[in-house]
Amino acid sequence: MRLLYFAWVRERVGKTDEDISPPADVRTVAELMEWLAGRGEEYAYAFENRKVIRAAIDRNHVRPDTAIAGAREIAFFPPMTGG
């Protein structure tokens, strides 16, 4: 699946997007963030305060307990500040 990062999540991870294949026991958005946080210093920093990070699966806002099965594109970003 493809991951996208925006705003300070992108800055901390150090990339705009990447393709990943998490292990089968990573089932939800929250579990995916936890798994990502263990992938290295920059990920640990980006996902250190996971409660404030929002996610979208295939361009729809989702909650942390949403299953990631079947997702093509998952995005992580801070709360939106448009308008």
Partner 1 sequence: MNATIRLQREDFDAAAESAKLSRGRTDIGALVTFTGICRDNESGHGVAAMTLEHYPGMAEEEITRHVKDAQARWPLMGVTVIHRYGRMTPGDNIVLVVTASAHREAAFEAANYLMDFLKTKAPFWKLEERPDGKNWVDAKSADDEAAQRWRT
Asked if residue 51 binds partner 1 (CB under 8 A), the reply is: no
What contacts 76, CB < 8 A, 6 or more positions away?
3, 4, 5, 6, 9, 33, 46, 47, 53, 54, 55
Which of these segments, 4-12, 20-28, 40-48, 63-71, binds partner 1 (CB under 8 A)? 4-12
When binding is defined by CB under 8 A, the residue of 6, 27, 37, 39 that contacts partner 1 is 6
d(CA 8, CA 68): 23
Asked if residue 8 binds partner 1 (CB under 8 A), the reply is: yes
Which of these segments, 19-27, 28-36, 39-47, 73-81, binds partner 1 (CB under 8 A)? 73-81
